[in-house]
Chains A and B, each alone.
Chain A
Amino acid sequence: MDTLLLNALNGLSWGMLLFLIAVGLTTVFGVMGILNFAHGSLFMLGAYLCMQSMQLFDSFWFGLLVGPLGVAALGVLVERFLLRKIYSRDVTFQLLLTFALLLILDDGVRMIWGSGYHVVEPPVLLSGVMTIAGQDYPIYRFFLIVVGPLIGGLLWAFFHFTRWGKVVRAAAFDNIMAEGVGINVPRIYASVFALGAWLAALGGGLAAPQQSLNPAMGEKIIIESFIVVVVGGMGSFPGAFVGALLLGLLDSFGTVFAGRMQMAIPYLLLAVILLVKPTGLFRKGV
């Protein structure tokens, strides 16, 4: 019973983190049609920038505010000067361009901060443990479990109830028509990519106190996020949520029933979903 609860909580907190990464990835794909290989690197860069600004301002919360904004600004530049030139090109070139970004960001971070591990302490408010059903569990992970759906809900409300969100959905639905009725589609694309980068970096900042930082952390999470996005349905918002929860729980419970082979489960899930329902669990729609 105890291990069941523990695994469920671990799965939930990991799933919520995955959701933050995947929701940015799926939004960028849904609107711009680009599957961003560098999304995990933006997550990793976000973690490092958050760590740096946390040290600079001596405040976890301030770091969490500043770091992702820096990554979002980088996102604007990347969209404006690189991605914009290849929207009409073959998917191979899009994947390869974002892969090149991944190489640059991963090695760039290694050049600046070194390839060793860095540790970020959770804020005082959220440090320590909480006792639940006779088990001690870190408060910070509860915080992650709460903050994931919160941000997801805010994003959903943004896309459905604000004028700006509706404009983005219009551009995703039919960018030529949107352009025709006077929507500035290039600006929408830039801001959506910046939003995706911001979400990835926010995920990185939030992940920092839970896992140690190293330049390879992006490469590890990008494949899992790909799986979440494909399983949920590429471009689908609720799909990313359900997919992330599913994968998070499979990751934590997988060790119980599959031992070392747990590593193979996400790929099996990906293959089965692609074969049975290539559009993912949820239909496409931003």
Chain B
Amino acid sequence: MSLSMRPHLIGPFLLLLVLLFAPLLLPVYWIMILTEILIMGLLAVSFNLLLGYTGLLSFGHGAFFGLGAYTCALLLQAGHQNLFVLLGAGMLVALLAALLIGFFSVRLDEIFFAMITLGMGMLFFSIAHNWLAVTGGSDGLPVFALPVLNLAGREFTFYAPNSMYYLVFTTVLAGIVLLWLVVHSPFGLILRALRENKQRVAFIGGNIQLLRIVAFAVSGSFAGLAGVLFCLFNSMATPEFMHWSFSAKPVIMSIIGGTGVFLGPLFGAAIFFGLEQLIIHFTENWMFFLGMVLIPIVLFFPQGVFGTLRNRFFKQG
């Protein structure tokens, strides 16, 4: 199990070390950026279970992120401060919604799948935007008290940026490891087979609809987990999380990073926020430059920046 025998583990191991010690070296502002990158990275990696591994382009993934965030905000407002309850409930609500939306959506393909998930996502957006009594409408739901964690006789709070960072880091790490296990399980292999040729999977006895629903639900529940974290980090759940323009973010991050690499979308998130920080120093028209950056990436990096570079240097499939 030594690292020299498994060269492909060196990269993730170094990344883990860097992320673990980053708060000791970075100023507070960058710790918060890094926290946001990790949360959006988890959303993008969970989204890529659909796009990269199952071959389904969802344009409504923000709905699950938003449901996680609203579940968290509502529970906190009701006085539930147990961290594990919040994380679990957010995932569960997102999971149930993903089962429902998935049940209807997975029978469609390609552009039709993109359209129905977009529509379903916007349906949730409309509800969040207009159900004033529960969601607070366009103002969103503020969070006033953060959860506490009682572990080994000590009580942890998450008001300091550093402790929030480690909460996010630990949760995102757990989420990404679980997703990695899913991707590298026999189930993950079948998903990739679905992406390549779903007729053949059907011929050898695979239940396409059921497999896709399960993939959709797993992906949605981890998006919900990311939503819970973002609600804690942001102290707010707003309807914008469910809007289609928010759902476009994990798509962009996955394409930038590369859909064929497991951690590609995480790098995509890092590039996305890194670029944003760089560009808003010079101009407030960040969207304009994002578009300008996206065009060459779409045209010249078919496997994403990270994927294309990796293939060039390591010659892997």
In the complex, which of the residues A82, A92, A102 contacts B251, with contact meaning CB atoms closer than 8 Å?
A92
CA distance A227 to B286 in the complex (A): 29
Contact A263 B130, beta carbon cutoff 8 Å: yes
In the complex, which of the residues A82, A92, A260, A264 contacts B299, with contact meaning CB atoms closer than 8 Å?
A82
**Is B32 interfacial (CB 8 A cutoff)?**
no
Contact B255 A101, beta carbon cutoff 8 Å: no
Given known A-B contacts A91-B57, A92-B255, A267-B126, A274 and B295 have beta carbons under 8 A apart? no
Contact A227 B291, beta carbon cutoff 8 Å: no
CA distance A5 to B115 in the complex (A): 33
**Is B285 interfacial (CB 8 A cutoff)?**
yes
- 1/0 contact string of A208-251 vs chain B (CB within 8 Å): 00000000000100010011001000100000000000000000
Q: Which of B107, B116, B132, B244 counts the most chain A CB atoms within 10 A?
A: B116
- 1/0 contact string of B99-143 vs chain A (CB within 8 Å): 000001001101110111011101100110110100000000000
Q: Which of A35, A103, A263, A270 counts the most chain B CB atoms within 10 A?
A: A103
Smallest Cβ-Cβ distance to A269: which chain B residue: B119
Residues of B within 8 A of A274 (CB): 108, 112, 115-116, 119
Residues of A within 8 A of B116 (CB): 270-271, 274-275
Which chain A residues (57-115) contact chain B, with CB distance < 8 Å?
82, 85-86, 89, 91-93, 95-97, 99-104, 106-108, 110-111
Determine the main DSSP class of B at the interface with A. Answer: helix
**Is B288 interfacial (CB 8 A cutoff)?**
yes
CA distance A261 to B62 in the complex (A): 20
Contact A271 B120, beta carbon cutoff 8 Å: yes
**Is B298 interfacial (CB 8 A cutoff)?**
yes
Contact A226 B115, beta carbon cutoff 8 Å: yes
CA distance A99 to B246 in the complex (A): 12
Residues of A within 8 A of B69 (CB): none
A3: shortest Cβ distance to chain B, in Å?
Answer: 22
Determine the main DSSP class of A at the interface with B. Answer: helix
**Is A56 interfacial (CB 8 A cutoff)?**
no
Residues of A within 8 A of B129 (CB): 263
CA distance A226 to B117 in the complex (A): 13
- 1/0 contact string of B174-191 vs chain A (CB within 8 Å): 000000000000000000
A110: shortest Cβ distance to chain B, in Å?
Answer: 7
Contact B298 A96, beta carbon cutoff 8 Å: yes
Contact A96 B123, beta carbon cutoff 8 Å: no
**Is B51 interfacial (CB 8 A cutoff)?**
yes
Contact A223 B122, beta carbon cutoff 8 Å: yes
B28: shortest Cβ distance to chain A, in Å?
Answer: 29
A54: shortest Cβ distance to chain B, in Å?
Answer: 25
**Is A133 interfacial (CB 8 A cutoff)?**
no
Smallest Cβ-Cβ distance to B137: which chain A residue: A260
In the complex, which of the residues B111, B251, B298 contacts A35, with contact meaning CB atoms closer than 8 Å?
B111
B225: shortest Cβ distance to chain A, in Å?
Answer: 24
**Is B294 interfacial (CB 8 A cutoff)?**
yes
CA distance A110 to B298 in the complex (A): 24
Smallest Cβ-Cβ distance to B245: which chain A residue: A219
In the complex, which of the residues B251, B252, B287 contacts A107, with contact meaning CB atoms closer than 8 Å?
B287
**Is A268 interfacial (CB 8 A cutoff)?**
yes
B130: shortest Cβ distance to chain A, in Å?
Answer: 4
CA distance A271 to B123 in the complex (A): 9
Contact A91 B255, beta carbon cutoff 8 Å: no
Residues of B within 8 A of A89 (CB): 302
Contact B287 A226, beta carbon cutoff 8 Å: no
Contact B299 A230, beta carbon cutoff 8 Å: no
Contact A96 B252, beta carbon cutoff 8 Å: yes
Contact A102 B291, beta carbon cutoff 8 Å: yes
Given known A-B contacts A100-B294, A230-B115, A270-B119, A95 and B287 have beta carbons under 8 A apart? no
**Is B204 interfacial (CB 8 A cutoff)?**
no
Contact A96 B255, beta carbon cutoff 8 Å: yes
**Is A278 interfacial (CB 8 A cutoff)?**
yes
Smallest Cβ-Cβ distance to A263: which chain B residue: B126
A64: shortest Cβ distance to chain B, in Å?
Answer: 27
A278: shortest Cβ distance to chain B, in Å?
Answer: 6
Contact B118 A103, beta carbon cutoff 8 Å: no
Given known A-B contacts A95-B57, A96-B298, A226-B115, A260 and B130 have beta carbons under 8 A apart? yes
Contact A270 B298, beta carbon cutoff 8 Å: no
**Is B248 interfacial (CB 8 A cutoff)?**
yes
**Is B20 interfacial (CB 8 A cutoff)?**
no
B258: shortest Cβ distance to chain A, in Å?
Answer: 12
Residues of A within 8 A of B122 (CB): 223, 267
Residues of A within 8 A of B255 (CB): 92-93, 96
A205: shortest Cβ distance to chain B, in Å?
Answer: 24
Residues of A within 8 A of B130 (CB): 260-261, 263-264
Q: Give me 10 A-to-B residue pairs in the complex whose CB atoms sit less than 8 angstroms apart, sorted by A's number.
A: A91-B110, A92-B51, A92-B255, A97-B298, A107-B288, A226-B118, A230-B112, A260-B130, A271-B119, A278-B112
- Chain A residues proximal to chain B, CB less than 8 Å: 35, 82, 85-86, 89, 91-93, 95-97, 99-104, 106-108, 110-111, 219, 223, 226-227, 230, 234, 260-261, 263-264, 267-268, 270-271, 274-275, 278
